[in-house]
Structure formats: structure tokens, C-alpha cells
Amino acid sequence: MKKEVWPWKTIIEPFKIKAVEPLGFTTRQEREHLLEQAHYNLFNIKAEKVLIDMLTDSGTGAMSCEQWAGIMKGDESYAGARSYYNFEMAVKDLTGLEEIIPVHQGRAAEKILFTALGAKGKYVISNSHFDTTRANVEASGAIAMDFPQEGALDFDKPAPFKGNADVKAMEKFIKEKGEKNVVMCVMTVTNNSLGGQPVSMENLREVKKLCDKYAIPLFIDCARFAENAYFIKLREKGYSDTPVEEIAKEMFEMADGAMMSSKKDALVNIGGFLAMNDKTLSLKCRQLLILTEGFNTYGGLAGRDLEAIAIGLKEVLDENYLQYRIRSSQYLGEALLKKGIPIVNPPGGHGVYINAKKFLPHIKPTQFPGQALACALYLEGGIRTVEIGTLMFGKRDSKGSFLPAPMELVRMAMPRRVYTQSHIDYVIEVIYSLAKNKKKIKGLSIVEAPLVLSHFTAKLKPL
Ligand code: F0G
């Protein structure tokens, strides 16, 4: 039977709330002081001093009552726990992959996979590597290359699948370097580094064809697979009547392997997995797993975590949930566009990215407009976001000074099932108010910043 499409204009939160947690109210004066104490780095602010926390959608979601019940039923046996088999079955059923390896979060899967590949000096190609993925590829001695589709960096111009890979550019690169030197292709769905934009089924299929032609394994970084599948349903020809679960399974049919941060679309606070068909590679991965994460049937997680993931992987494919989820970021994005606030258009699946370069043209990239905006949002309304710009991605010159990154974005990530529409209305009101006085926002300068992953611990001061 075909599911009835929601006939109303108002999309509602498809849940009611059973447990609540107070928000962290502060005064502007307190926030001024807190920012100074935190050296203008929002990672240093205590969460209880944040009113609306949009720093990340990773591990910050609310679990369902089913998942909490699963937590109580979790089997904590070291080997062969029932919860592991529930987890394994859920991942197998979704991905169709054979070898299922639990890990404590996404980057552990990356670390194990790229260490096991041992492809020093060789290339990994992608639509866009997420920053930890790139860091783990590079830590293994391999080289990470991004091939986003043309126009992906044109933030103003909407397109349905701006997360796609540029398949022609990938093929040109493979021919140039020789297929033996390209050891893996990673498709990140949705594409987090470029605005949470989805990848189309057509693009996945073309990438798969390319990979088959040159015998390159295709892995999916599937942290946000369900959001991607729902975008395919909404936007790609031929899928509007297909259940999202089927779409997700079709995406995974293209994959030789997958790595997942379960902290996103498995609706849990911690966890991840690595999955593949290649038995030889999986054996190497399992050896590293036992060395660094734990035994095959728990991989750095508690049995209860595995149980919650197994349940979350099914819940996330509920189309009422996905309709609310995608509509939430659209709602925020549309409100900002209405007042001419520049964002990555269209809004992404897991959040809205403000284009700080365009919003604050009076601040030079070397004065960190993204970070300045993130601090201003906290000062104005206690909203915590994250800079994706020169502080996060800027390369350094020989003196350690930052060179401008290609983009200056501020990501407003949406935790799953946490905030309601009035919270988002509040966020919109704060941004509107900030926009009126944006010329007063000042750039920042570095006090100190380590050379690696500097955004987490850098200290800054206002100019
Ligand atoms: N891949 C993608 C696409 C991600 O977005 C993340 C994490 C990871 C891998 C790594 O997973 O955090 O579980 O180790 N993204 C978070 C974020 C941190 O805020 O976007 P992890």
C-alpha cells in the first residue's frame, strides 16, 4: 500500500518529549566574559553556558524510548554478546556487506581502514574527504584528493546534488597517475565539508562504473546515509515513490565497503562501524581492531551501545522522521535567505552554513571572518556554531601564519530530535538582529595555534 503523503503545510516534530533537560541561559555580560576567558574559541565554552548548541550534529541527538529500552537490554559479554549480533544483523541488512566491524566512532574506522590499506605514496580519491578522513588518509602516508562537482563552491547557486563527484576529473586523474596508484575511492554522503549537500544515485552509479573500470574499491562514508537517501527521494527523477529504505539499500549496492560514524544517522551518542566484502582486507582490519579498539564483537563499545545502534539504524529510515529532519534545516535556511543572509544554497541535510566571507566582507580572510561570526552569534544569543574556514582548513606559511582557505563558512548544525521549531525561530531572530549591526563585528587575530587541527585549541583575540 502506498504511504499517504503528509497533506499539511506545517511539518511537525514526529515525536513527543518524555525527558527534558534545561537550557543554559546566560546574560550578555556573562557571555562577554566567557568569550574572553575562552580565548574566542567556542570549543572552550562549557556546554551549560550555551543556550542553543549547533556546534555539531555528531553524538548530540536524542535517543528514542525504544533505544533507551535497548540500553537496558544490552548484553555486556566480552565475546559473542547478543547485542553484537543484533548490531551485525542491522548493519548487514542495511548495507548488504559481509564483514561487519564495530568501532567506537567514525575516525576509528578511518584509522583502521587506511592503516590496513598501507598505501604510502598512493592516492585516495573522493567527492570530498571529511577532515578526519583526510587526516587519517594522510597519517597512513597516502594522499587524499577531492573531486567535487563543478559549481559546488558556488554557494549562492542552488542545485539538487551539489555533493556529487566530478567523475570526468576523477577519470583524468586516474589515467594521469595510473590506476595502480589510486587505491580507493571514498564517497561521502552527504558531503559534510561542502555544506551537507547530497549525492545523487546517478552520480554514485557513475562513480561505481568508473571504479569498476579501473578495479578501484568504492567505499561510502555513510555517516548521513539516510538524509542522503531522503534527498534522492525528494529530488531525483524516478524515486519519489520508492521507500527510503530501498533507496538507502540501492546506494549501498554500489559499495565495496562502508565506514560510518553512528553518532549521526544511527541516532546514538557514540559508535561506528567499518564494513566490507574483501576478506583479506577485513582480516588486517580486525587485527588492528583487537590492537586498538577491542575484540571483534564489541570494538570499543559497550553492548548497550551496539543495541542502540541496531535500533537507530532502523528508526532513522522512518519517513516521518526524515521529513521533519530535512524540513528543519530548510526552514532555517529559507528564513535566512529571505533577509538576504548568504548561506550555502540550498540548505544541507544536517544544518545550514552561513557564507561569512559574503556576510562580513569588511573582515579579511586572514582575520577569520567565520570565527568572528561564530563568536558574535554566541555573544548575541548564546548560540554555538563552528567555523569551517581559515582557522579549520587554512594552510600555514613557513612562519606559521595562516593562509586563507577557499571558503569562510559558519556551520549551524542541527542535533537530531533535540530542538523544536520555536528554538529555531529564536535562532532566526538572533541572526536577524546581528545582521542589522554586522558592520560592528570585528576580525580576530591569533594569540597561539598548534600546527595540527589548530581550530580545537587555538587562542584568539579581537582586533
Ligand atoms: N565522516 C563524516 C562525513 C563526518 O561528518 C564525521 C564527523 C566523521 C566521518 C568522523 O566521525 O566524529 O564519529 O569520528 N563529523 C563530526 C561533525 C565531527 O561535526 O561533522 P567521528
Residue 19, amino acid: A
Is 134 touching ligand 1 by the criterion CB < 6 Å? no
Question: Is 223 labeled as catalytic in the residue annotation?
Answer: yes
Mean pLDDT of 233-254: 98
pLDDT digits (tens, 9 = 90+) for 72-86: 999 999 999 999 999
State the pLDDT at residue 1: 56
**Which region among 170-184, 188-202, 449-463 has the lowest average model confidence (pLDDT)?**
449-463
Q: Which CATH architecture has domain 28-57+318-462?
A: Alpha-Beta Complex (3.90)
Angle CA(272)–CA(204)–CA(174) in degrees, nearest 5? 100
Q: Are the C-beta atoms of residues 76 and 82 closer than 8 Å to each other?
A: no
> Of 55, 56, 57, 58, which is best to mutate to test ligand 1, by the most ligand atoms within 8 angstroms of its C-beta?
58
State the span(s) of the chain assigned CATH 3.40.640.10: 65-315
C-alpha cell read off for 51: 543556550
Percent of the chain with pLDDT over 90: 95
Q: What is the pLDDT of residue 3?
A: 66
Q: Answer yes or no: 47 catalytic.
A: no
List, in order, residues 6 or more apart from 168 with CB less than 8 Å away.
none
pLDDT over 70 at 184, yes or no: yes
**Per-residue model confidence (pLDDT) at position 2:** 60
Q: How far is the CA of 106 from the centre of ligand 1 (A)?
A: 6
Please indicate whether residue 349, judged by its CB atom, sits closer than 6 Å to ligand 1. no
Task: Give, to the nearest 10 degrees, the angle between helix 106-117 and helix 131-139.
Answer: 30
Give me the mean pLDDT over the 35-56 stretch.
98
pTM check: above 0.85 = yes
- 397 phi/psi in degrees, rounded to 5: -85, -175
Q: What is the pLDDT of residues 352-389, one digit of tens each?
A: 999 999 999 999 999 999 999 999 999 999 999 999 99
In the chain, where does the domain assigned CATH 3.90.1150.10 lie?
28-57+318-462
The average pLDDT across 396-411 equals 93
pLDDT tens readout for residues 286-304:
999 999 999 999 999 999 9
Long-range contacts of 209-212 (CB under 8 A, 24+ apart): 210/167, 210/170, 210/171, 210/174, 210/185, 211/185, 211/256
Q: What is the pLDDT of residue 451?
A: 85
Q: Please provide the CATH number assigned to the domain covering 65-315.
A: 3.40.640.10
For residue range 368-377, list pLDDT tens digits in order: 999 999 999 9
Bridge partners of 148? 165
Query: By the 8 A CB rule, do 208 and 162 touch?
Result: no
What is the position in ligand 1's atom list of the atom closest to the CA of 59? 13
Residues 275 and 92: their CA atoms lie apart, in Å, by: 9
Give the model confidence (pLDDT) of 405-446 as tens digits: 999 999 999 999 999 999 999 999 999 999 999 999 999 999
Tell whether the model's pLDDT for residue 4 goes beyond 80.
Answer: no
Q: Phi/psi of residue 316, each to 5°? A: -65, -20
Q: How many angstroms separate the CA atoms of 56 and 412, rounded?
A: 8
